[in-house]
Amino acid sequence: MQPTYLLIGSGRVSRHLERYFRLLGLRTHSWSRKGDPSSLAKLAQASSHALCLISDPAIEPFLHDHEALFSSKTVVHASGSLVTPRARGAHPLMTFTSAEPYDLGTYKAIPFVIEKGGPALTDLLPGLPNPSFELDPALKPLYHAYCVMSGNFTTLLWQKVIVEFESRLGLPRDALFPYLAQVAGNLRRDAEHALTGPIARNDDETMRRHLRELDSDPYALVYRAFIAAARGNPCENQGGRS
Ligand SMILES: NC(=O)c1ccc[n+]([C@@H]2O[C@H](COP(=O)([O-])OP(=O)(O)OC[C@H]3O[C@@H](n4cnc5c(N)ncnc54)[C@H](OP(=O)(O)O)[C@@H]3O)[C@@H](O)[C@H]2O)c1
């Protein structure tokens, strides 16, 4: 039987998934609290699968308040860290912004991390051709911490550098993009040997000079924290220095 989806929320993930589901030709309804509150019951009744795509802290209270509407539905949330008996987690391992939608190929390649011991992705989100990986639910907060470190922390670093290049150095952001692309490419090809620069070379003198220049910039703290954390970096201990 063809699924009928109800996407709840009008934020970033909801807008991307709505576009994706429509590109796939899946029957999809959308509802958000900005719209008509009374239409939720009708849309829930018309759907086989409800995706609760709202802010993490709001998911459980929302599902609790509307328990009766969803008792016979497959209910899924997209949080990377939340585990709740009220819905199954299917975390799209991707970053979704409010800018441009992505293309169909990008959407299809997004891995979904689902909860070990629960239904398969083909039951949670039938009609999606995406790869999926199972994770012990107890590990979800740690898994999500790694996602945030890799995707969000690096975004903060690049945003900082883009702004400083343009405002303090008078260099265009475009000068950075070949570097960004190569860093990502090197990590993909050979993560264990991707690190270069003064930390990889153990060049303390250069690092001290950098910290003097950064002075009271809050990112001096980040720089110091990275030096300290890199001492325990498993790649560094596996011959990553070159
Ligand atoms: N963005 C990403 O890159 C990403 C990636 C993977 C997974 N996720 C997960 O996807 C889910 C949605 O994230 P998002 O980035 O799309 O968030 P978002 O852009 O901040 O949108 C949050 C949505 O939740 C709604 N909302 C908040 N509190 C609500 C409540 N009490 N009742 C009803 N609706 C409520 C908001 O409604 P209003 O607009 O009316 O405030 C908004 O539509 C989260 O579980 C998040 O962890 C996000």
Q: What is the mean pLDDT of residues 133-160?
A: 98
Pocket around ligand 1 at a 6 A CB cut-off: 9-14, 32-34, 53-56, 58, 62, 77-80, 91-92, 94-96
Closest ligand 1 atom, residue 93 Cα: 6
For a ligand 1 pocket test, name from 53, 55, 88 the mutation site with the most ligand atoms within 8 angstroms of its C-beta: 55
150 and 133 in a common domain? no
Distances in Å between the Cα of 130 and the Cα atoms of 22, 101, 175 are 15, 17, 35
Q: pLDDT of 174-196, one tens digit each?
A: 999 999 999 999 999 999 999 99
Q: CATH number for the domain including 55?
A: 3.40.50.720
157 and 233 in a common domain? yes
What token pair was written down for 172?
Answer: 């265009």
Residue 126 CB partners (closer than 8 Å, separation 6+): 3, 49
Closest ligand 1 atom, residue 56 Cα: 45
234 and 133 in a common domain? no
| Residue with the two structure tokens 């328990």 | 67
152 and 133 in a common domain? no
196 and 95 in a common domain? no
What token pair was written down for 177?
Answer: 């993009």
Closest ligand 1 atom, residue 61 Cα: 31
Q: pLDDT of 63-116, one tens digit each?
A: 999 999 999 999 999 999 999 999 999 999 999 999 999 999 999 999 999 999
SS3 assignment, position 119:
coil
**Dihedral sign of CA atoms 195, 186, 107, 101 in order:** positive
Q: Are 52 and 87 in contact (CB under 8 A)?
A: yes
What token pair was written down for 210?
Answer: 């950098």
